[in-house]
Amino acid sequence: MTLIKPFRALRPAPGRAAEVLAPPYDVLSSAEARERAKGKAWSFLHVSKAEIDLDPATDPYGGAVYAKAAANLKAMTAAGVLIRDAKPSYYVYRTTWRGHVSTGLAAVASLADYASNRIRRHEHTTPAKEDDRVRQIEAVNAQTGPVMLGYPTAPQIDAMLARLPEGPIRVALPLSAGAGEGLALVEAFRGDVFAHVRLDANGAVARCHLRDASWFQWPLLEAAIEGNIVADFPLCNKSFNCSYSGCDL
């Protein structure tokens, strides 16, 4: 079972990140968050610590706070301050503090893997804090406080992240200036996936060739079942576990 998966992020629209930027919810008291968000209509503190928009006497764990968080997040998306990506993706997350730069990968993971200790717990949290975040997630229908985790040495991921260029976090790609072609080779869990694309003078796709890893496995399955009884077919078939749709990614 895949440990992590891509997702459709809800993130600041281009040019709006500075308006949304806010400290984590658990490093500020309600009073400090209220002061920090003063005059900042789109600060994410209006979602992560929504009690700042209610009477100071309001219970920070009361239902009104979670309802206000949901309303504020809805307002941010309706105003176009936050936008949701059209396709699921993995995201590069980079933080810089006093000259130290940390770069990681943002993805979603299963709570079952967390409960089974396949994903190690990053801290021992109090039941009250856990219940607060669960209620917030349920109210806003979003995970608003990403959990930072370490992962075992993965040279391929580290090398990929290290090659990322400096510059804006989001850049529009220009259209092709003319004819050209390119190759791509990636590793899927069944084997290599190869793609070749050729563009014409107008930048349109003139030819595309895809080679899926399962395409090489199906003939091997045919050879494996030759001479076997019908009852062995399910075992042979699942041993190769080829993709019926020819989509190993």
Is the same domain home to 102 and 35?
A: yes
* Residue 173 pLDDT greater than 60, yes or no: no
Q: Are 30 and 62 in contact (CB under 8 A)?
A: no
User: pLDDT at position 50, please?
Assistant: 95
The mean of the pLDDT values for the chain is 84
Is the same domain home to 10 and 85?
A: yes
Q: Domain range spanning residue 221?
A: 180-240
Is the same domain home to 106 and 190?
A: no
User: pLDDT at position 145, please?
Assistant: 79
Domain boundary among 91, 114, 140: 140
Say if 170 falls within a structural domain: no
Say if 166 falls within a structural domain: no
* Residue 170 pLDDT greater than 70, yes or no: no
How many domains, the chain? 2
Is the same domain home to 10 and 79?
A: yes
Choose between 11 and 222: higher pLDDT.
11
Is the same domain home to 86 and 190?
A: no
Burial (CB count <10 Å: 0-12, 13-18, 19+), residue 76 = buried
Is the same domain home to 37 and 117?
A: yes
Across residues 206-215, what is the average pLDDT? Answer: 85
* Residue 158 pLDDT greater than 90, yes or no: no
Is the same domain home to 108 and 194?
A: no
CA distance 108 to 142: 12
The percent of residues in the chain predicted with pLDDT above 70, rounded, is 91
Across residues 32-39, what is the average pLDDT? Answer: 92
Distances, alpha carbon 24 to alpha carbons 33, 45, 47, 73, 155, in Å? 10, 8, 11, 16, 30
248 confidence band (pLDDT: 50, 70, 90): low
Say if 147 falls within a structural domain: no
The reply to whether the predicted model has a pTM over 0.75 is no
Choose between 72 and 186: higher pLDDT.
72
User: pLDDT at position 105, please?
Assistant: 84
Across residues 9-14, what is the average pLDDT? Answer: 91
User: pLDDT at position 177, please?
Assistant: 59
Say if 150 falls within a structural domain: no
Is the same domain home to 49 and 110?
A: yes
Say if 111 falls within a structural domain: yes
246 confidence band (pLDDT: 50, 70, 90): low
Is the same domain home to 96 and 209?
A: no
Q: pLDDT for 88-97, tens place per residue? A: 988 887 777 7
User: pLDDT at position 136, please?
Assistant: 92
* Residue 37 pLDDT greater than 70, yes or no: yes
Domain boundary among 140, 157, 172: 140
User: pLDDT at position 168, please?
Assistant: 67
CA distance 47 to 63: 14
Across residues 73-100, what is the average pLDDT? Answer: 88
Q: Are 119 and 107 in contact (CB under 8 A)?
A: no
Neighbours of 92 (CB within 10 A): 13
CA distance 71 to 54: 13
